[in-house]
Copies of this chain bind each other. A is one copy, B any other.
Amino acid sequence: MSEKVIVALDAMGGDNAPVEIVKGAVEAVKEEAGLLVKLVGREEQVRAELAKYTYPQGQIEVVDAPDVIETGEQPVMAIRRKKDSSMVRALTMVKEKKADAFVSAGSSGAILVGGQVIVGRIRGVERPPMAPLIPTAKGVSILVDSGANVDSRPSFLVQWAKMGSIYMENIMGIKNPKVAIVNVGLEEEKGNQLVKETYPLLKACKDINFIGSIEARNIPNGDADVIVCDAFVGNVILKLYEGTAKMLLSKVKTTLMSSLKTKIGALLIKNSLSDTMKSFDAKQYGGAPLIGLNGLVVKTHGNAKAMEVKNSLLQCVKFQREKVNEKIIASISAEKLDEAEA
Protein backbone atom coordinates (compact mmCIF):
# COMPACT_ATOMS: atom_id res chain seq x y z
CA MET A 1 0.00 0.00 0.00
CA SER A 2 2.23 2.82 -1.20
CA GLU A 3 -0.35 5.59 -1.47
CA LYS A 4 -1.60 6.97 1.83
CA VAL A 5 -5.25 7.57 2.60
CA ILE A 6 -5.63 11.27 3.38
CA VAL A 7 -8.22 12.34 5.94
CA ALA A 8 -9.03 15.97 6.66
CA LEU A 9 -9.86 16.08 10.35
CA ASP A 10 -11.84 18.96 11.85
CA ALA A 11 -9.58 19.85 14.78
CA MET A 12 -12.06 22.40 16.13
CA GLY A 13 -15.35 20.42 16.06
CA GLY A 14 -17.07 18.98 19.13
CA ASP A 15 -17.03 19.42 22.89
CA ASN A 16 -13.48 18.13 23.36
CA ALA A 17 -11.70 19.97 20.56
CA PRO A 18 -8.88 20.30 19.95
CA VAL A 19 -7.46 18.16 22.82
CA GLU A 20 -9.17 14.82 22.14
CA ILE A 21 -9.24 15.33 18.38
CA VAL A 22 -5.49 15.79 18.16
CA LYS A 23 -4.94 12.88 20.52
CA GLY A 24 -7.14 10.67 18.34
CA ALA A 25 -5.15 11.66 15.26
CA VAL A 26 -1.89 10.74 16.96
CA GLU A 27 -3.24 7.38 18.09
CA ALA A 28 -4.56 6.62 14.61
CA VAL A 29 -1.31 7.31 12.74
CA LYS A 30 0.60 5.23 15.27
CA GLU A 31 -1.69 2.33 14.45
CA GLU A 32 -1.98 2.78 10.69
CA ALA A 33 1.07 3.56 8.59
CA GLY A 34 -1.06 4.10 5.49
CA LEU A 35 -2.88 7.10 6.97
CA LEU A 36 -2.10 10.79 6.53
CA VAL A 37 -4.15 13.09 8.76
CA LYS A 38 -4.53 16.74 7.85
CA LEU A 39 -5.57 18.51 11.03
CA VAL A 40 -7.64 21.51 9.99
CA GLY A 41 -8.10 24.25 12.57
CA ARG A 42 -6.46 27.14 14.39
CA GLU A 43 -2.85 26.38 13.62
CA GLU A 44 -1.30 27.68 16.81
CA GLN A 45 -3.72 25.83 19.05
CA VAL A 46 -3.40 22.61 17.06
CA ARG A 47 0.40 22.72 17.01
CA ALA A 48 0.47 23.32 20.76
CA GLU A 49 -1.56 20.15 21.27
CA LEU A 50 0.51 18.18 18.78
CA ALA A 51 3.72 19.18 20.60
CA LYS A 52 2.62 16.96 23.50
CA TYR A 53 3.11 13.80 21.48
CA THR A 54 5.68 11.87 19.53
CA TYR A 55 4.36 10.31 16.35
CA PRO A 56 5.51 9.47 12.81
CA GLN A 57 6.12 13.02 11.54
CA GLY A 58 5.20 12.39 7.91
CA GLN A 59 1.71 11.29 8.85
CA ILE A 60 0.21 14.43 10.38
CA GLU A 61 0.03 17.85 8.76
CA VAL A 62 -1.64 20.99 10.05
CA VAL A 63 -3.83 23.16 7.81
CA ASP A 64 -4.70 26.56 9.23
CA ALA A 65 -8.35 27.59 9.47
CA PRO A 66 -8.92 30.56 11.73
CA ASP A 67 -12.71 30.30 11.98
CA VAL A 68 -15.00 27.76 13.66
CA ILE A 69 -18.65 26.81 13.00
CA GLU A 70 -20.42 26.61 16.35
CA THR A 71 -23.10 24.01 17.15
CA GLY A 72 -25.94 26.49 17.45
CA GLU A 73 -25.43 28.16 14.08
CA GLN A 74 -27.91 27.85 11.25
CA PRO A 75 -26.18 25.23 9.05
CA VAL A 76 -26.81 26.63 5.58
CA MET A 77 -25.74 30.13 6.59
CA ALA A 78 -22.68 28.88 8.46
CA ILE A 79 -21.46 26.80 5.51
CA ARG A 80 -22.11 29.61 3.06
CA ARG A 81 -20.48 32.39 5.07
CA LYS A 82 -17.67 30.88 7.12
CA LYS A 83 -15.24 30.17 4.28
CA ASP A 84 -12.31 30.17 6.69
CA SER A 85 -13.83 27.71 9.13
CA SER A 86 -12.16 24.36 9.76
CA MET A 87 -15.24 22.60 8.41
CA VAL A 88 -15.54 24.48 5.12
CA ARG A 89 -11.78 24.30 4.50
CA ALA A 90 -11.63 20.59 5.23
CA LEU A 91 -14.67 19.80 3.10
CA THR A 92 -13.17 21.83 0.26
CA MET A 93 -10.05 19.66 0.48
CA VAL A 94 -12.23 16.59 -0.12
CA LYS A 95 -13.97 18.31 -3.02
CA GLU A 96 -10.61 19.22 -4.58
CA LYS A 97 -9.30 15.67 -4.04
CA LYS A 98 -6.66 16.92 -1.61
CA ALA A 99 -8.23 14.57 0.92
CA ASP A 100 -10.15 11.30 0.56
CA ALA A 101 -12.35 11.80 3.58
CA PHE A 102 -13.48 14.26 6.24
CA VAL A 103 -14.09 13.54 9.92
CA SER A 104 -15.76 15.97 12.34
CA ALA A 105 -17.33 16.02 15.80
CA GLY A 106 -18.90 19.39 14.98
CA SER A 107 -22.47 20.49 14.19
CA SER A 108 -24.42 17.65 12.54
CA GLY A 109 -26.47 20.10 10.54
CA ALA A 110 -23.41 21.84 9.12
CA ILE A 111 -21.76 18.50 8.29
CA LEU A 112 -24.89 17.34 6.43
CA VAL A 113 -25.24 20.58 4.51
CA GLY A 114 -21.51 20.94 3.87
CA GLY A 115 -21.16 17.34 2.72
CA GLN A 116 -23.86 17.77 0.11
CA VAL A 117 -23.13 21.34 -0.96
CA ILE A 118 -19.33 21.31 -0.94
CA VAL A 119 -18.30 17.68 -1.49
CA GLY A 120 -21.35 16.88 -3.60
CA ARG A 121 -23.30 13.73 -4.35
CA ILE A 122 -22.20 10.83 -6.49
CA ARG A 123 -24.01 11.21 -9.81
CA GLY A 124 -27.29 9.29 -9.58
CA VAL A 125 -27.47 9.21 -5.78
CA GLU A 126 -30.74 10.94 -4.92
CA ARG A 127 -30.12 11.64 -1.23
CA PRO A 128 -27.00 10.68 0.72
CA PRO A 129 -28.03 9.09 4.03
CA MET A 130 -26.41 9.31 7.44
CA ALA A 131 -25.63 5.69 8.25
CA PRO A 132 -24.35 4.96 11.76
CA LEU A 133 -23.52 1.49 12.98
CA ILE A 134 -25.53 0.32 15.95
CA PRO A 135 -24.44 -2.48 18.29
CA THR A 136 -26.67 -5.55 18.57
CA ALA A 137 -26.66 -8.86 20.41
CA LYS A 138 -25.00 -10.43 17.35
CA GLY A 139 -22.56 -7.68 16.44
CA VAL A 140 -23.50 -4.56 14.54
CA SER A 141 -26.09 -3.29 12.07
CA ILE A 142 -26.18 -0.21 9.86
CA LEU A 143 -29.13 2.16 10.21
CA VAL A 144 -29.91 4.07 7.00
CA ASP A 145 -31.07 6.85 7.16
CA SER A 146 -30.68 8.07 10.71
CA GLY A 147 -30.71 11.80 10.31
CA ALA A 148 -30.19 13.27 6.87
CA ASN A 149 -33.53 12.99 5.07
CA VAL A 150 -36.93 13.18 6.74
CA ASP A 151 -40.06 12.88 4.58
CA SER A 152 -38.33 10.57 2.15
CA ARG A 153 -39.43 8.95 -1.08
CA PRO A 154 -39.41 5.18 -1.76
CA SER A 155 -36.62 5.47 -4.34
CA PHE A 156 -34.34 7.04 -1.69
CA LEU A 157 -34.80 4.06 0.60
CA VAL A 158 -34.00 1.61 -2.18
CA GLN A 159 -30.69 3.36 -2.82
CA TRP A 160 -29.95 3.40 0.91
CA ALA A 161 -30.54 -0.35 1.06
CA LYS A 162 -27.99 -0.82 -1.70
CA MET A 163 -25.41 1.54 -0.25
CA GLY A 164 -25.88 0.08 3.24
CA SER A 165 -25.34 -3.42 1.83
CA ILE A 166 -22.14 -2.36 0.09
CA TYR A 167 -20.92 -0.74 3.31
CA MET A 168 -21.64 -3.77 5.48
CA GLU A 169 -20.14 -6.20 3.00
CA ASN A 170 -16.93 -4.24 2.43
CA ILE A 171 -16.30 -2.47 5.70
CA MET A 172 -17.74 -4.97 8.17
CA GLY A 173 -17.05 -8.10 6.15
CA ILE A 174 -20.64 -9.39 6.26
CA LYS A 175 -21.34 -11.50 3.21
CA ASN A 176 -24.73 -11.01 1.56
CA PRO A 177 -26.01 -8.73 4.35
CA LYS A 178 -29.66 -9.07 5.33
CA VAL A 179 -31.71 -5.97 4.52
CA ALA A 180 -34.97 -5.18 6.33
CA ILE A 181 -37.32 -2.21 6.38
CA VAL A 182 -38.54 -0.89 9.74
CA ASN A 183 -42.23 -1.60 10.08
CA VAL A 184 -45.03 -1.87 12.63
CA GLY A 185 -45.68 -5.52 11.86
CA LEU A 186 -44.32 -8.31 9.72
CA GLU A 187 -47.17 -8.73 7.24
CA GLU A 188 -46.60 -7.24 3.80
CA GLU A 189 -49.77 -5.12 3.96
CA LYS A 190 -48.71 -3.39 7.18
CA GLY A 191 -47.05 -0.02 7.39
CA ASN A 192 -47.47 3.62 6.59
CA GLN A 193 -47.68 4.91 3.02
CA LEU A 194 -43.90 5.16 2.62
CA VAL A 195 -43.28 1.60 3.78
CA LYS A 196 -46.13 0.18 1.69
CA GLU A 197 -44.72 1.83 -1.42
CA THR A 198 -41.09 0.96 -0.66
CA TYR A 199 -41.63 -2.70 0.29
CA PRO A 200 -42.35 -4.02 -3.24
CA LEU A 201 -39.44 -2.00 -4.67
CA LEU A 202 -37.04 -3.57 -2.18
CA LYS A 203 -38.53 -6.98 -2.86
CA ALA A 204 -37.92 -6.52 -6.59
CA CYS A 205 -34.36 -5.28 -6.09
CA LYS A 206 -31.94 -7.88 -7.42
CA ASP A 207 -28.68 -6.75 -5.85
CA ILE A 208 -29.71 -6.85 -2.18
CA ASN A 209 -30.72 -9.63 0.21
CA PHE A 210 -34.11 -8.26 1.29
CA ILE A 211 -35.66 -10.25 4.13
CA GLY A 212 -38.80 -8.13 4.57
CA SER A 213 -39.99 -6.04 7.51
CA ILE A 214 -38.34 -5.78 10.89
CA GLU A 215 -40.20 -4.70 14.00
CA ALA A 216 -38.27 -2.31 16.21
CA ARG A 217 -38.20 -4.86 19.04
CA ASN A 218 -36.00 -7.13 16.93
CA ILE A 219 -33.43 -4.50 15.98
CA PRO A 220 -31.37 -5.04 19.19
CA ASN A 221 -31.25 -8.79 18.44
CA GLY A 222 -29.42 -8.11 15.20
CA ASP A 223 -32.05 -9.80 13.02
CA ALA A 224 -30.99 -7.64 10.06
CA ASP A 225 -27.62 -6.20 9.01
CA VAL A 226 -28.98 -3.26 7.03
CA ILE A 227 -31.96 -1.48 8.56
CA VAL A 228 -33.73 0.87 6.20
CA CYS A 229 -36.09 3.66 7.25
CA ASP A 230 -36.94 7.32 6.82
CA ALA A 231 -34.53 9.60 8.72
CA PHE A 232 -37.19 10.68 11.20
CA VAL A 233 -37.75 7.08 12.27
CA GLY A 234 -34.02 6.32 12.09
CA ASN A 235 -33.17 9.23 14.31
CA VAL A 236 -35.78 8.11 16.84
CA ILE A 237 -34.31 4.59 16.79
CA LEU A 238 -30.73 5.77 17.19
CA LYS A 239 -31.47 8.14 20.04
CA LEU A 240 -33.93 5.93 21.89
CA TYR A 241 -31.48 3.07 21.70
CA GLU A 242 -28.76 5.19 23.29
CA GLY A 243 -31.15 6.72 25.82
CA THR A 244 -32.64 3.41 26.94
CA ALA A 245 -29.25 1.76 27.35
CA LYS A 246 -27.94 4.74 29.32
CA MET A 247 -30.96 4.88 31.61
CA LEU A 248 -31.02 1.14 32.29
CA LEU A 249 -27.32 0.92 33.03
CA SER A 250 -27.58 3.87 35.38
CA LYS A 251 -30.46 2.06 37.15
CA VAL A 252 -28.30 -1.03 37.47
CA LYS A 253 -25.42 1.06 38.83
CA THR A 254 -27.64 2.75 41.42
CA THR A 255 -28.85 -0.68 42.52
CA LEU A 256 -25.28 -1.94 42.86
CA MET A 257 -24.40 0.97 45.14
CA SER A 258 -27.55 0.66 47.28
CA SER A 259 -26.19 -1.45 50.20
CA LEU A 260 -23.03 -3.02 51.56
CA LYS A 261 -24.16 -6.40 50.28
CA THR A 262 -24.73 -5.17 46.73
CA LYS A 263 -21.46 -3.22 46.82
CA ILE A 264 -19.55 -6.42 47.54
CA GLY A 265 -21.49 -8.14 44.77
CA ALA A 266 -20.65 -5.26 42.45
CA LEU A 267 -16.93 -5.71 43.08
CA LEU A 268 -17.17 -9.35 42.02
CA ILE A 269 -18.99 -8.66 38.75
CA LYS A 270 -17.40 -5.32 37.87
CA ASN A 271 -14.78 -6.45 35.35
CA SER A 272 -16.99 -8.91 33.52
CA LEU A 273 -19.86 -6.43 33.31
CA SER A 274 -17.58 -3.72 32.03
CA ASP A 275 -16.27 -6.07 29.29
CA THR A 276 -19.83 -6.89 28.27
CA MET A 277 -20.72 -3.23 28.07
CA LYS A 278 -17.64 -2.42 26.01
CA SER A 279 -18.70 -4.99 23.42
CA PHE A 280 -21.90 -2.98 23.25
CA ASP A 281 -20.20 0.32 22.45
CA ALA A 282 -20.71 1.56 18.90
CA LYS A 283 -17.73 3.92 19.24
CA GLN A 284 -15.38 1.04 18.53
CA TYR A 285 -16.60 1.14 14.91
CA GLY A 286 -15.96 4.86 14.41
CA GLY A 287 -18.51 7.53 13.57
CA ALA A 288 -21.60 7.79 11.40
CA PRO A 289 -20.72 7.96 7.72
CA LEU A 290 -22.64 10.18 5.32
CA ILE A 291 -22.54 7.96 2.25
CA GLY A 292 -23.19 8.59 -1.42
CA LEU A 293 -20.86 11.61 -1.65
CA ASN A 294 -17.79 12.15 -3.86
CA GLY A 295 -15.62 11.26 -0.90
CA LEU A 296 -16.42 10.13 2.59
CA VAL A 297 -17.78 12.34 5.37
CA VAL A 298 -17.90 10.92 8.89
CA LYS A 299 -19.73 12.48 11.83
CA THR A 300 -18.61 11.43 15.30
CA HIS A 301 -20.50 12.18 18.48
CA GLY A 302 -20.22 15.78 19.64
CA ASN A 303 -18.63 14.52 22.86
CA ALA A 304 -16.25 12.17 21.01
CA LYS A 305 -13.00 11.32 22.75
CA ALA A 306 -9.72 10.23 21.19
CA MET A 307 -10.83 6.59 20.85
CA GLU A 308 -13.84 7.45 18.67
CA VAL A 309 -11.79 9.92 16.61
CA LYS A 310 -9.10 7.29 16.05
CA ASN A 311 -11.64 4.66 15.02
CA SER A 312 -13.32 7.11 12.64
CA LEU A 313 -9.97 7.78 10.96
CA LEU A 314 -9.31 4.04 10.59
CA GLN A 315 -12.83 3.63 9.22
CA CYS A 316 -11.93 6.14 6.47
CA VAL A 317 -8.83 4.13 5.57
CA LYS A 318 -10.89 0.98 5.19
CA PHE A 319 -13.56 2.80 3.18
CA GLN A 320 -10.94 4.06 0.74
CA ARG A 321 -9.00 0.79 0.50
CA GLU A 322 -12.11 -1.27 -0.10
CA LYS A 323 -13.10 1.17 -2.84
CA VAL A 324 -16.60 1.51 -1.39
CA ASN A 325 -17.44 4.56 -3.46
CA GLU A 326 -16.43 2.84 -6.68
CA LYS A 327 -18.78 0.00 -5.75
CA ILE A 328 -21.58 2.44 -4.99
CA ILE A 329 -21.03 4.13 -8.36
CA ALA A 330 -21.19 0.75 -10.10
CA SER A 331 -24.39 -0.15 -8.25
CA ILE A 332 -26.06 3.16 -9.08
CA SER A 333 -25.04 2.87 -12.74
CA ALA A 334 -26.47 -0.64 -12.90
CA GLU A 335 -29.72 0.81 -11.58
CA LYS A 336 -29.78 3.38 -14.38
CA LEU A 337 -29.16 0.64 -16.95
CA ASP A 338 -32.01 -1.42 -15.48
CA GLU A 339 -34.27 1.58 -15.77
CA ALA A 340 -33.19 2.24 -19.32
CA GLU A 341 -33.95 -1.39 -20.26
CA ALA A 342 -37.31 -1.35 -18.53
**Cβ-defined contact, B235 with A237, below 8 A:** no
Q: Contacting chain B: which of A6-14, A96-104, A263-271, A322-330?
A: A263-271
In the complex formed, the residue of B with least CB distance to A241 is: B244
Is the C-beta of A281 less than 8 angstroms from some C-beta in chain B? no
What distance in Å separates the Cβ of A290 from its nearest Cβ neighbour in chain B?
A: 16
**Cβ-defined contact, B147 with A184, below 8 A:** yes
Partner of A236, one of B233, B256, B258, B272: B233
Partner of A239, one of B151, B217, B255, B267: B217
What distance in Å separates the Cβ of A228 from its nearest Cβ neighbour in chain B?
A: 13
Give Cα A5 to B267, complex, Å.
Answer: 52
Is the C-beta of A245 less than 8 angstroms from some C-beta in chain B? yes
Partner of A262, one of B236, B246, B268: B268
Is the C-beta of A240 less than 8 angstroms from some C-beta in chain B? yes
Known: A220-B244, A243-B218, A245-B244. A236 touches B147 (CB 8 A): no
**Cβ-defined contact, B264 with A268, below 8 A:** yes
Partner of A265, one of B182, B236, B252, B265: B265
CB-CB under 8 A from A192, the residues of chain B are: 150-151, 230, 232
Question: 1/0 per position for A295-308, CB-CB distance to B under 8 A?
Answer: 00000000000000
CB-CB under 8 A from A275, the residues of chain B are: 255
Is the C-beta of A31 less than 8 angstroms from some C-beta in chain B? no
Known: A192-B150, A249-B248. A217 touches B243 (CB 8 A): yes
**Cβ-defined contact, B184 with A150, below 8 A:** yes
Is the C-beta of A206 less than 8 angstroms from some C-beta in chain B? no
In the complex formed, the residue of B with least CB distance to A220 is: B247
Question: 1/0 per position for A136-169, CB-CB distance to B under 8 A?
Answer: 1100000000010011000000000000000000
CB-CB under 8 A from A52, the residues of chain B are: none
Interface pairs A-B: 6 shortest CB-CB: A265-B268, A217-B243, A216-B240, A220-B247, A265-B269, A217-B239
Would you mind naming 5 contact pairs between A and B with Cβ atoms under 8 Å apart?
Answer: A184-B231, A220-B240, A220-B247, A232-B233, A268-B268
